[in-house]
Amino acid sequence: MTQLKILLATTGLDIGGAETHVTELAKELKKMGHTPIVTSSGGIYEEELKDYDIEHIKSPLDSKNIKDILVSFSTLYKAVKENNIDIIHAHGRIAALIAKIVSSCLKVNFMTTSHALFDSRLPFRYLTFWGDEVIAVSEDVKRHLMKCFEVAEEKITVIPNGISEKKFNPDIDYPKALEELGLKQNSKKIVYISRITDALAELTKLVIEAGLLLNENTVNAEIIIVGDGDQFTQIEAVAKEANTKNDVVRILGKRVDIAKILSIADVVIGVGRTSLEAMAMGKPVIIAGGEGYAGLLTPSNYELVKETNFTGRDVGSLSSAQQLCVELLSVFELSKNELRETNEFVRVKIVESYYIDKMAINTESVYYRLQASDD
């Protein structure tokens, strides 16, 4: 098959489902013989791309400022022209807007991936461009695209974000992880990974409070928080205050060694990609995020939560730290057999459907279909 040159345009390369997916997709496309080039505002995954000899072109795709948009247009235009790009694959609204203009100017194929439910109110509805092929990461995102943006069903392919089998599996062992992360040997370790902004920052506070409640319930618990955002300093202060009552919170900020951190978890709180990575490592997962809450992921609620890309959208809501504390206590009270059965169930689902090699092959098929439609 023809080897393609693909420009992957995204907001940035820091912690986040879309950003991590772009990094993993670029690496997999490189293995398949294609030439991926990534353009973004940058971040911690730049070094990983460099290690795989994948070019990264810095551009302020995280900014709505008109001057930055003009800079991004110039950067993408030059990248497409100088590298003879076959396809621009945008991940994010600003990236898609600029990619659409560049593709129109240079007659290059353009497509997008929708990683979430985009705001369809005016004027956003008319400033959002999807391209001739669209990948939706879940069925509810597909329905949203059809209903709110009138994207034709035949243009949409559902391909969930892929997880690296090499990075995330239960056989990975980090013998010095507890020491390196400054954790206790005998505590129940609750890992929470998320951006720390807006509703997610409020959720982070509930997670910390739940940790304090667990210790009041005689559970020796530690809360490990991974992530960054514009309210990180505020959450640091909340964590510091909590630790004056009980030394319960470890706040790690931005990290790329997510597998190491997940390896020491007794339970993981998160949504989307975080939940998938934890599932791949055979960890119990409580689905809690900025869009919804589904509690512990089990065989009984798996299909429902899968429909929402493991976000808990329209499933339920988390109203208090007490509610989360009760959920965590119920996880800790499960027998070893119950826990093993649940963990094995969700891990099998990951192996069947969510590894990055399968996701990359399916994405490649979309690329070839897009190219063929242009012949």
The CA-atom distances, in angstroms, between 268 and each of 239, 282, 310 are 18, 10, 13
pLDDT beyond 70 at 137? yes
Average pLDDT, the chain: 94
pLDDT digits (tens, 9 = 90+) for 15-70: 778 999 999 999 999 999 999 999 999 999 999 999 999 999 999 999 999 999 99
pLDDT-derived band at 92 (thresholds 50, 70, 90) equals very high
> Which pLDDT score is estimated for 166?
87
Sign of CA dihedral 314, 320, 324, 326: negative
| 8 A C-beta contact, residue 25 and residue 359 | yes
Half-sphere exposure of 189 (CA within 13 A, CB side): 23
Q: What is the DSSP letter of 127?
A: G
Give me the mean pLDDT over the 182-206 stretch: 95
pLDDT-derived band at 375 (thresholds 50, 70, 90) equals low
Give me the mean pLDDT over the 224-229 stretch: 95
pTM, two decimal places: 0.91
Among 272, 232, 8, which residue's Cα sits nearest to residue 117?
Answer: 272
pLDDT-derived band at 124 (thresholds 50, 70, 90) equals confident
pLDDT digits (tens, 9 = 90+) for 276-290: 999 999 999 999 999
> Which pLDDT score is estimated for 345?
93
Q: Which residues lie below 8 Å from residue 172, measured CB to CB, with a gap of 6+?
A: 259, 263, 281
Q: Which domains, from first to last, does the chain contain?
A: 5-162+355-373 (3.40.50.2000), 177-353 (3.40.50.2000)
Distance of CA 358 to the CA centre of its chain: 17
Question: Diameter of the chain by CA atoms?
Answer: 67
Residue 56 host element (H or E): strand 56-58
pLDDT beyond 90 at 272? yes
The CA distance from 261 to 221, in Å, is 15
> Which pLDDT score is estimated for 173?
84
